[in-house]
Structure 1
Amino acid sequence: MDARHARYPFLDAAREAVEQAGVSLADLIAADRDRPAVERGRERVERALVAGTVEPDRRIDPRTELLSYPVARVIVSLLDAPGAVEKYAAAEAATASERFTEEFRREGDADRQATLGAGADAGAGAGRAGGDAPSGDGFTVEAFLREFGLDDAVLARDDEYRVAVAEYLRLAPDGEAWRLAVRELSDGRVTVTRGELSELLRSAVERRVADGLPLSVPPAVADPLEPTVEAVASRIAGADYPRSFDAEADPAAFPPCVRALLERVREEESLPPRSRFSLAAFLAAAGLDEERIASLCGRDADGDGRFAYALDRLVGDGSYPPPSCETMQAYGDCVNRDDLCARIDHPLEYYAARLDEESERAAD
């Protein structure tokens, strides 16, 4: 078990590492020495369902992090919560995407530096994408493509990639910018940028994580996890907040935390995954459609692939509530608190109260 397996526990090699360690799920859950893996598995699911990420907020040893993944898959399978599996898979994929996108960027920088140092011909032709081997604990583009059986489907061409149309259609997210009619298509391949290739790989990760979920969990595993599952269910239930709004969306009534996140987006700041999820989930829950959200954020929704992806997952889907005030505080996104903040437990509760105040003023 190494750091790469812990960072990407859905890899075939990571699964094999767990199998070679001879750790059964029943033994893992029952053994006191592995309680950290169970606790991390619980946290993994909670953070996925509450904040849209599984990134830990502290350093965790590779063994615990890797073993927490199969535990998390069991926990999410036992949860009786609409959309839990889909949201969990999306969060695992989003976290992996943050990691491999950064690794791909470093790989690209290293390749460009090597090319400059060697005086290589910048006009080299197309070839299979990426290098041959991982660097350190990281993964190259080619290694990820091989992992998902895409190495023959993707060709590198300068700073772009050409993806076989069948694989492109299978993995492309929804959205106008991904429609085949607006893409460059030649010789059965679609041209994509490095960032778009990362989006396609994110989709591949999400499909793999979701594959087989929910699991059929035997009593020997389910029974010892019952208190853990109940704790997760209680945690994600959150406060009693409004689920829908009859009034037209009014940004002036948004809570201070949401207004602050909006301002950061308008200034083209790249939000961390949890903040991006919090903002997208709130705006979707407040009843805004993607076009209105894009206008409110001062950008084309398709101009920011990660934000657009979050919106696509959240708009119109009531099973993805935004985080509570407690969670926003824990993540450092609870800012500019006012008097109303002290009396509520959820950003949507704040929004509903402000809408009621405005309605009362209009009636006077």
Structure 2
Amino acid sequence: MDRLLARYPFLSAAREAVGEEGGDMVALVADGGPPVERAVERVETCLREGTVGDPHRDPRTELLSYPVARALVSLVDEPVLVRRYADAEARTAHRRFTADLDDDRELQSARGQRISLRRLLAEFDLSGKVEDAPEGYRITVGRYLSLSGEDWRLVARPLADGWVPVSREELMALLREAVRERVAEGLPQAVPEEIADGLADEVAGVESLLADRSPPREFDAVAPELFPPCVTSLLARVSEGEDLEHHSRFALVSFLVSMGLDAEEVEAIFERGGTGAETAAYQAERLGDDGRAAYAPPSCEAMEALGDCVNPDDRCETIDHPLSYYEAALDDAGTVPDWRETGGSILDRLSGD
């Protein structure tokens, strides 16, 4: 079989290959062999590491594991898992096709089992909508807007005759988003009862792993420079005197309370900006102690839905909660000075003053 389809199972041609190689999916799942085992690995690794893991040595197993993984994600039926899985497949694909493609700026054909930029563009209806440019590429404004996020503001880019210039790295990022959209499309999907019955144990295992990954509540240190981008942005808005909307204020206050700040410390932060200090202190007091366990900060999914998820970085792709981001950042940083021991304001610590 075509190893390229196993490497990139989201390709349209891979769907036909699955039918040819997989035969009866009910029997495949009932057998519980390598494709099912690899499917479980895909899904569980997306939760643990933000990727889908290393490919199986057998291309057929690798190819067939993809539709089984999609069935698993659908049966668990949790929005956070759909998002994490689509992100992980896109992250893995991005790493692979970036490695496959030559570093020059020509639209080249594939050699051997590597994918070509030409094929990727055709796969996502970008043929004729991406062209070589003197310093990278250019893409039609319509497709640029459909694939770019909030951080890629069109106002900050030159626009000529309906084309937007992008670097090679930016084009790879746009293709990564195209993969993410393709993977997420249709999830959760309807799964036949026979397949659902055959995957019952695997679904229970994924559900257990998902439950175990609830956000942490205790931390060894308060290090503002390690806060997630969404929280840093909210603090900057407070510092600039913006009166946050209720959902944004709750997200910030609940995060700070989870860090162990009390009502007075939260109030002092908002007083620096000159707005909302009394309300923030009241929220912090209610969220403290017993309320701290009941009211965790909003998840990444909720932050995104409310417009408070901004400037996501690489770590954001591997977590699903701001507190999990902070926990991972602390682990990576090792020993860090606690904000309370160094004195000063959290806002000063963030600004480097």
Instruction: Please report how far the alpha carbon of residue 46 of structure 1 lies from its aligned counterpart in structure 2 after TM superposition.
Output: 0.8
Q: Secondary structure at the match of 2:46?
A: helix
Name the count of aligned residue pairs.
Answer: 268
Q: Secondary structure at the match of 1:52?
A: coil
Instruction: Please report how far the alpha carbon of residue 96 of structure 1 lies from its aligned counterpart in structure 2 after TM superposition.
Output: 0.3
- Among 97, 111, 117, the alignment partner of 1:135 is 111
Change (3 A) 1:130 1:251: same
Change (3 A) 1:314 1:289: farther
Instruction: Please report how far the alpha carbon of residue 2 of structure 1 lies from its aligned counterpart in structure 2 after TM superposition.
Output: 2.4
Structure number with greater Rg is 2
Q: Which residue of 1 aligns with 2:103?
A: 108
Mapped to 1, the partners of 2:114 and 2:318 lie a distance apart of: 30
- The answer (yes or no) to whether the contact 2:49–2:318 under 8 Å persists in 1 is no
Mapped to 2, the partners of 1:148 and 1:77 lie a distance apart of: 24
Mapped to 2, the partners of 1:335 and 1:168 lie a distance apart of: 34
Question: Percent identity at matched positions?
Answer: 41
Higher mean Cα deviation, 79-88 or 226-235? Answer: 79-88
- The answer (yes or no) to whether the contact 2:35–2:68 under 8 Å persists in 1 is yes
Change (3 A) 1:63 1:322: farther
TM-score by length of 2: 0.65
Equivalent residues in 2 for 1:78-93 (5 A)? 78-93=75-90
Instruction: Please report how far the alpha carbon of residue 24 of structure 1 lies from its aligned counterpart in structure 2 after TM superposition.
Output: 2.9
Q: Which amino acid aligns with 2:181?
A: R
Mapped to 2, the partners of 1:210 and 1:89 lie a distance apart of: 5
Q: Which residue of 1 aligns with 2:223?
A: 250
Instruction: Please report how far the alpha carbon of residue 22 of structure 1 lies from its aligned counterpart in structure 2 after TM superposition.
Output: 4.9
Equivalent residues in 2 for 1:143-154 (5 A)? 143-154=119-130
Long gaps (5+) in structure 1? 112-128, 255-282, 293-306, 339-350, 359-364
Q: Secondary structure at the match of 2:199?
A: helix
Mapped to 2, the partners of 1:184 and 1:82 lie a distance apart of: 37
Long gaps (5+) in structure 2? 237-310, 342-353
Q: Which residue of 2 aligns with 1:211?
A: 185
- The answer (yes or no) to whether the contact 2:222–2:340 under 8 Å persists in 1 is no
Instruction: Please report how far the alpha carbon of residue 237 of structure 1 lies from its aligned counterpart in structure 2 after TM superposition.
Output: 2.4
Instruction: Please report how far the alpha carbon of residue 108 of structure 1 lies from its aligned counterpart in structure 2 after TM superposition.
Output: 2.9
Mapped to 2, the partners of 1:235 and 1:21 lie a distance apart of: 30
Mapped to 2, the partners of 1:244 and 1:81 lie a distance apart of: 26
Mapped to 2, the partners of 1:14 and 1:154 lie a distance apart of: 24
Mapped to 1, the partners of 2:339 and 2:156 lie a distance apart of: 44
Q: Which residue of 2 aligns with 1:67?
A: 64
Mapped to 1, the partners of 2:83 and 2:332 lie a distance apart of: 30
Q: Which residue of 1 aligns with 2:293?
A: none
Q: Which residue of 2 aligns with 1:342?
A: none
